[in-house]
Amino acid sequence: MRTRTQVGIVGAGPAGLLLAQLLHRQGIDTVVLERQDEAYVRARVRAGVLEPGTVRALCDVGAGERMLRQGLVHGGFELRFAGRGHRIAMDELTGESITVYGQQEVVADLIDARRAAGADVEFEATVTEVAGTDTATPVIRYEQHGRTHELHCDWIAGCDGFHGVCRPPESPAYQRDYPFAWLGILASVPPSSDELIYARHDRGFAMHSMRSPSVSRFYLQVPPDTDLAEWPDERVWKELHLRLATDDGWRLAEGEVTERSVTGMRGFVSRTMRHGRLLLAGDAGHIVPPTGAKGLNLAVSDARLLGDALIRRYADGDEGPLDAYSDTCLRRVWRAQDFSQWMTGLLHRTEGAEFEQRAQLAQLAYVCHSKAASTMLAENYVGATGM
């Protein structure tokens, strides 16, 4: 078992795996530790909207071939309210498109690319402690298959998410909890739309997304304390029909529900993404509400920035990019937080007087009918991370 590496990476999500691939291709030794087994990692369904910069990043490290073949390229998306749909033509307004391709597929491609490059991932490795991050030789302590190990590193990349070991619990942060959640389902049914639909309804937000030509993804705004047992398939489909309905006879197709979950909505930003020789990336450093589709894309942006900074450090001893890493990341993160918060407020129903509800509808109408406002929305949607 390895006891020494240059960069120890905790977490085999998009940020950790992309960082590992970037460094490995430049001859920098890495070890990736992941607490779950490989089957779980390859199957866990998360985000699925990739910005153009994310697509380029995956292609650059040799992990984009399947995505280019199977990903669904969308030149626009629909804002739906008051019984009518309004297309935001991203391709016409910005010259860019997004790609719908599940996060689990991104992760699978990165694992395969790492193995093809002669490296691997240590699965079922539960990290119990990161220590010595204020010294030149930090250490990761972990358990795997009943044995305890120590991995000594030059640098540690904490890519293990909001609940991971790497994020210091005492680290100061900004946080906002939203008064609603998303009930999400995955269904074995072809999408009823060629592009994503974001719907604002008096009963709450709804979203129609997709994962492939035969699998659709749906979300409903629900209270944060929602019990899934109170939402059988029948009720979910009925509510989706109501919230996604239009006046032109559009029909929603139903199918077998294969997965369901309730996800709370929060915004979280760490005040710093560097703690000595521990550098955070992805959800370990920030979480955005999912409305703006920024979480996965920000994780990829972090990995690219951190990878470039570490490559410079090993190539010529320049620590300037590492010193600037946290500030550079957080500028992008706050832009994405602002956009995601705005889009969340635009589409979700909040308890309040009729005045607030009418103002929300007026803002939606302005966004859809003003070229300047539509362009602002499209530009942020395809690249608020700045890649």
Active-site residue (options: 142, 178, 198, 219): 198
* Phi then psi dihedrals of residue 314, to 5 deg: -80, -25
Active-site residue (options: 74, 86, 152, 321): 74
Nearest alpha carbon to residue 269 among 224, 322, 332: 332
- Burial class from Cβ neighbours inside 10 Å (0-12, 13-18, 19+) for residue 25 reads middle
At residue 268's C-alpha, the angle toward residues 267 and 271, to 5°, is 145
Residues with Cβ within 8 Å of residue 166, at least 6 apart in sequence: 10, 11, 127, 130, 156, 158, 159, 160, 278, 280, 284
Please name the residue that has the structure tokens 């915004």.
Answer: 267
Active-site residue (options: 52, 149, 290, 348): 290
Residues with Cβ within 8 Å of residue 312, at least 6 apart in sequence: 318, 320, 321, 322
What whole-number distance in Å separates Cα of residue 124 and Cα of residue 145?
A: 7
219 is catalytic: no
381 is catalytic: yes
**Tokens (6 digits) for 239:** 């509510």
Active-site residue (options: 138, 294, 325, 348): 294
Please name the residue that has the structure tokens 């629900």.
Answer: 222
Q: Which residues pair with 122 in a beta bridge?
A: 33
At residue 216's C-alpha, the angle toward residues 214 and 217, to 5°, is 155
CA atoms within 13 A on the CB side of 148: 4
294 is catalytic: yes
- CB atoms inside a 10 Å sphere around CB 292: 22
What whole-number distance in Å separates Cα of residue 291 and Cα of residue 57?
A: 23
169 is catalytic: no
Type of residue at 240: L
What whole-number distance in Å separates Cα of residue 60 and Cα of residue 304?
A: 11
Active site residues: 74, 198, 290, 294, 381
